[in-house]
Amino acid sequence: MTPGAVTVDGPAPCGLVVTVSPMRRRHLRAVLAIETSVYPRPWSSRLFEDELERGGRVYLVARIGPTLVGYAGVLMIADDAHVATVAIDPAWQRNGIATRLLAELVRQALAFGANQMTLEVRMSNVRAQEIYRRFGFAPAGARKAYYSDNGEDALVMWAHEINTDEYAARLAVIDQAQLPPTSRQGFDAPIRVGASSGNLHPAADRAGMDRS
Ligand SMILES: CC(C)(COP(=O)(O)OP(=O)(O)OC[C@H]1O[C@@H](n2cnc3c(N)ncnc32)[C@H](O)[C@@H]1OP(=O)(O)O)[C@@H](O)C(=O)NCCC(=O)NCCS
């Protein structure tokens, strides 16, 4: 990736341009507004702040014009990348924004040496699972009663060998889909991906990764 580069991919089906950039503290007010609207157990501002300070993480935001419409994050554990969160403002869902964010998240994970990616998703969240499947994630097991708000099980999904030509071809297909074009900004300053702080997931200190 060229430092400071702004690239635009894909056709513009409806005139929207999604700007993807690293999450900063100044984004947190808007991030929290979405967080509280989509998750039964939202992360606190403090938790996001801590995450932004830690190494081994990449958090991204998506904006349309000045409006922050979504965000996503991944944390690195050795050569595994663990998707920590993906959320889109309900008013902006079904516009391909999560797809664009995930594509960038995968690229960031690859840039930091990830060879596979994993995540947990509610069994009932079929829509999110479908998006993950497009990115090559396959079900690999379940975590019983993982979500404490309703006791729901988590589906564990993995995407293996993401640093192969085959996976690059999959990403290329996703990039060429009829989704809003993407402008990448703010990647000139290095994202903090030093040693992971204990490799803990942000929610690990509050009875499990049970919020998505
Ligand atoms: C799951 C979630 C992240 C998806 O975000 P999104 O931006 O709506 O996702 P996308 O638009 O990239 O893809 C969703 C669908 O819209 C479709 N789509 C994308 N652009 C479209 C367009 N221009 N016109 C019509 N459909 C479109 C995609 O093909 C996809 O199809 P599907 O509904 O059949 O799966 C979002 O619903 C959300 O934030 N949910 C609450 C939080 C959550 O569940 N997060 C995941 C936790 S693991």
Task: Note the Cα 49 to chain centre separation in Å.
Answer: 17
pLDDT value of position 179: 73
Return phi, psi of residue 18, to 5°: -95, 120
**Contact between 91 and 37 (Cβ < 8 Å):** no
Residue 170 has pLDDT above 80, yes or no: yes
What is the 3-class SS of 58-79, one letter each residue? EEEEEEECCEEEEEEEEEEECC
Distance from C-alpha of 55 to C-alpha of 80, rounded to nearest angstrom = 15
Residue 191 has pLDDT above 80, yes or no: no
Judge if the beta carbon of residue 130 lies within 6 A of ligand 1.
Answer: yes
* Per-residue b or e along 4-19, where b marks 16 or more CB atoms closer than 10 Å to that residue's CB: eeeeeebeeeeebebb
By most ligand atoms within 8 Å of CB, the mutation choice from 95, 147, 173 for ligand 1 is 95
Nearest partner of 77 among 118, 111, 48, judged by Cα: 118
Burial of 155 (C-beta count, 10 Å sphere; 0-12/13-18/19+): buried
Judge if the beta carbon of residue 97 lies within 6 A of ligand 1.
Answer: yes
Which atom of ligand 1 is nearest the CA belonging to 95? 20
Name the pLDDT band for 189 (thresholds 50, 70, 90): low
Residue 6 has pLDDT above 50, yes or no: no
Q: What is the pLDDT of residues 36-89, one digit of tens each?
A: 999 999 999 999 999 999 999 999 999 999 999 999 999 999 999 999 999 999
Task: Report CA(97)–ligand 1 centroid distance (Å).
Answer: 7
Listed in sequence order, the DSSP H helices in the chain are: 28-38, 45-53, 97-111, 126-134, 165-175
DSSP state of 105: H
Q: Does domain 8-205 have CATH number 3.40.630.30?
A: yes
Q: Which residues are catalytic?
A: 120, 132
pLDDT value of position 16: 79
By most ligand atoms within 8 Å of CB, the mutation choice from 63, 69, 93 for ligand 1 is 93
Give me the half-sphere count of Cα atoms (radius 13 Å) on the Cβ side of residue 165: 0
180 or 44, higher pLDDT:
44
User: CA dist 81 to 25, 102, 145, 183, 193, Å?
Assistant: 23, 12, 23, 23, 12
By most ligand atoms within 8 Å of CB, the mutation choice from 43, 126, 127 for ligand 1 is 127
Judge if the beta carbon of residue 177 lies within 6 A of ligand 1.
Answer: no
Q: What is the pLDDT of residues 193-205, one digit of tens each?
A: 544 544 445 544 3
**Contact between 23 and 59 (Cβ < 8 Å):** yes
Nearest CA to ligand 1 atom 12: 96
Residue 20 has pLDDT above 80, yes or no: yes
**Contact between 116 and 110 (Cβ < 8 Å):** no
Residue 9 has pLDDT above 80, yes or no: no
Which atom of ligand 1 is nearest the CA belonging to 125? 44
112 or 190, higher pLDDT:
112
Name the pLDDT band for 192 (thresholds 50, 70, 90): low
Question: pTM of this prediction?
Answer: 0.86
Average pLDDT over every residue of 92-121: 95
Q: What is the pLDDT of residues 119-164, one digit of tens each?
A: 999 999 999 999 999 999 999 999 999 999 999 999 999 999 999 9
Judge if the beta carbon of residue 196 lies within 6 A of ligand 1.
Answer: no
Burial of 165 (C-beta count, 10 Å sphere; 0-12/13-18/19+): exposed
